[in-house]
Amino acid sequence: MKIRFLGAHNCETKDTRLVSLLIDDVLAIDAGGLSSSLSLEAQKKIKAVLLTHQHYDHIRDIPTLAMNLFLGGANTTVYSIPAVFEVLENNLMDEVIYPDFRQKPPDKPTIGFSPIEPNKARKILDYDVLPVPVKHGVPTVGYQLGAGGKSFFYTGDTGPGLSQCWEQISPQLLIIEATGSNKFTEWAVGGGHLTPSLLERELEGFREVKGYLPRIIIVHMSSHLEKDIAAEIAAVAKALDIPITLAHEGMEINL
Ligand SMILES: [Zn+2]
Ligand SMILES: [Zn+2]
């Protein structure tokens, strides 16, 4: 699997985009930086978009992607939990803010919604997908994606308390968030996010439950805190004696 980090941050600036991953050019996870990162041709190749939760930084490019696909005569399917579809339907593609591309064109709609069930494995395109609930302020699922004997797990936004999640997954790569630096730990716990020190505890928990630690990549950093987060993550990597990488826009890895 080829994983491209189109957006790796919690803030959009000239140099950073909101979180979005692109797998093998055909499947996207979260939609914070899809249309701003990809050519029209690349957008038309996306056949599935998996959304972790309803927050704006994760769903924002569904309408803009849909407009491009509509004008280009292409279509795609969005997979998520029902709460996310309610927000898209009622607050974003509601015919007030933007068109409802599930009806356009009527004979071959641009966007289809396909609800997923947490904890229930299913096939999406050629991937084995397992949505697993994580700890955030609104209903949120992370996704384990497997193909060709390899798998990774992307948490989406999450706070601490992931031991039940760890029991259900066995990835070679864990893509997990660290939104704030350690001085924001109290805020992070309240908001359902992680800081490097909270992440360290969760990774210790992973090792306890699974007996190993996968390769770790960090996303969803707040741009203005990134220096501190990077230094604190380096300390976590040293303490746990594992490599941990901070993602950046355009980073690509092969799994
Ligand atoms: Zn969120
Ligand atoms: Zn977020």
Ligand 2 centroid – CA 224 distance (Å): 15
For the CA of 60, the nearest ligand: 2
Ligand 2 centroid – CA 105 distance (Å): 31
Q: Phi, psi (5° rounding) for residue 224?
A: -75, -10
Inter-axis angle of helices 196-210 and 226-240, to 10 degrees? 30
pLDDT for position 20:
98
pTM of the model: 0.97
pLDDT for position 175:
98
Mean pLDDT of the chain: 97
For the CA of 57, the nearest ligand: 2
- In the chain, % of residues over pLDDT 70: 100
Ligand 1 centroid – CA 211 distance (Å): 29
Q: Is the preceding omega at residue 105 within 30 degrees of 0, hence cis?
A: yes
CA distance 213 to 230: 20
Ligand 1 centroid – CA 44 distance (Å): 27
Ligand 1 centroid – CA 20 distance (Å): 13
Ligand 1 centroid – CA 73 distance (Å): 32
- In the chain, % of residues over pLDDT 90: 100
Q: What would the mean pLDDT of 137-157 be, rounded to a whole number?
A: 97
